[in-house]
Amino acid sequence: MKAVIIGTSGHIDLALGVRDRAHGVSFVGIAPGSPDEDARSFFVDQLEAALIPWYDDWRAMLDRERPDLAVIAPFFHLQSAVARECLQRGIHAFVEKPMATSLEDLARLRATHAAGRAKLCPMLPYRYHPEFQAAWLAVKEGLVGEPLVAAAQKSYKLGTRHRMYTRRATYGGTIPWVAIHAIDWLWWFTKGGLAEVVAAHTTAGNRGHGELESSGACFYRLANGGAASVSFDYFRPQAAPGHGDDRLRVAGERGVVEVMNGEAVLATHDAAPRRLEREEPRAIFLEFVRHVETGSPMRIEPEEAFAVCEVALKSREAADRRVPVKLR
């Protein structure tokens, strides 16, 4: 299977970091997603020694190499258009999130995917993180009862971000970029039970990053009468270990499961808190390659991926307009 990279503005390490285990996959080219994206420096630092060819134009690369799969991570506002063209050419798309930065672009991408046979997977890897999978299995097995309240947290270090992040037009917003992971957890754990959202975000404290939202929160009404929330921020101290602080708490009438510091802990009325057994880590890119080759199921199917992106964009709308937005 021939693979190419279009853009280096997202988490292409999800693919490149496991390429030595991606047996049968050959990376045959890399190109920027647009002329103003500085992908060349990444190429020189990371890939030139690996003899992966450089292209100035990604369409020329597709014409010449005719790849089977594309790893897509240009500036965020371009992701849906690049992914659409790849799908139209019959190229499987491993695409950075958010897959689109507007509802209109998302609808176009969804229609293009539905009309073709090429497969699509977003870079939403947490369903393959062992601690989140362990917590999800506990909820699936009914160990906490009906999930009636959930709270998720995404906290990142800000550092100095590329100018692309400083404009909503190119960045898309912190809810679709950061909070979308936590939205995916809630969608996954509640079986798509998010019914309505109110939200708020602010650019205060963004240390000169223009229109980048530094923090905020989304509050969801669940279809079963429960409630869920997401908090997100770029306030994690630079001295803190690791780039992010991810947390999730899901509670029902039988107990509570919590994910924090890479562990999942279950507490019920019948037993003392215990760490849940975790599976061996899996790489979402390798799972996608296997899916393309054999048809094996993914933990996030395309329709779920589109739904999660839609919720993220509608949550951003709720924060922008300061009004509740229906999700179903």
Q: With CA atoms as reference, report the closest residue to 127 among 298, 5, 319.
A: 298
N- to C-terminal Cα separation, the chain: 39
Output the 3-class SS for 90-158.
CCEEEECCCCCCCHHHHHHHHHHHHHCCCCEEECCHHHHCHHHHHHHHHHHCCCCCCCCEEEEEEEEEC
Residues 191 and 160 in one domain: yes
Q: Say which residue the tokens 């509050």 belong to.
A: 219
Mean pLDDT by runs of 10 across the 328 residues of the chain is: 96 93 94 91 76 92 98 98 98 98 98 98 98 98 98 97 96 98 98 98 98 98 98 97 96 98 96 95 97 97 97 98 97
Report how far Cα 254 is from the mean position of its chain's Cα atoms: 30
Residues 145 and 250 in one domain: yes
Q: Say which residue the tokens 């669940």 belong to.
A: 222
Output Rg (C-alpha) for the chain, integer angstroms: 20
Of the three residues 101, 123, 145, the one that is the final residue of a domain is 123
Residues 162 and 264 in one domain: yes
Please name the residue ranges forming H helices in 46-102. Answer: 58-65, 79-88
Residues 223 and 298 in one domain: yes
The pair of structure tokens assigned to 79 is 């992701």
Q: How far apart are CA 273 and CA 217, in angstroms?
A: 28
pTM here is: 0.96
Residues, the chain: 328
Give the model's pLDDT for residue 65.
Answer: 98
User: Tell me, what DSSP letter sits at residue 123?
Assistant: S
Residues 248 and 144 in one domain: yes
Report which residue type is found at 192. Answer: G
Give the model's pLDDT for residue 51.
Answer: 72
When divided into structural domains, the chain yields a total of: 2
Residues 238 and 302 in one domain: yes
User: Tell me, what DSSP letter sits at residue 164?
Assistant: G
Of the three residues 72, 102, 123, the one that is the final residue of a domain is 123
User: Do 176 and 316 meet the contact criterion of CB atoms below 8 Å apart?
Assistant: yes
Please return the burial class of 317, using the count of CB atoms within 10 Å of its CB with bins 0-12, 13-18 and 19+. Answer: middle
User: Tell me, what DSSP letter sits at residue 209?
Assistant: -
Report which residue type is found at 68. Answer: D
Of the three residues 72, 103, 123, the one that is the final residue of a domain is 123
Residues 73 and 200 in one domain: no
Residues 245 and 166 in one domain: yes
Residues 117 and 174 in one domain: no
Beta-sheet pairing, 215-222 with 149-156: unpaired
Q: With CA atoms as reference, report the closest residue to 189 among 295, 304, 286.
A: 304
Beta-sheet pairing, 227-233 with 244-251: unpaired
What backbone phi and psi angles, to 5 degrees, belong to 293? -80, -35
User: Tell me, what DSSP letter sits at residue 265?
Assistant: E
Residues 78 and 174 in one domain: no
Residues 33 and 70 in one domain: yes
Residues 88 and 187 in one domain: no
Q: Look up the domain containing 46 and give its range.
A: 2-123
CATH number of the domain residue 131 falls in: 3.30.360.10
CATH number of the domain residue 92 falls in: 3.40.50.720
Give the model's pLDDT for residue 41.
Answer: 82
The CA–CA distances, whole Å, from 7 to 22, 173, 182 equal 20, 19, 25
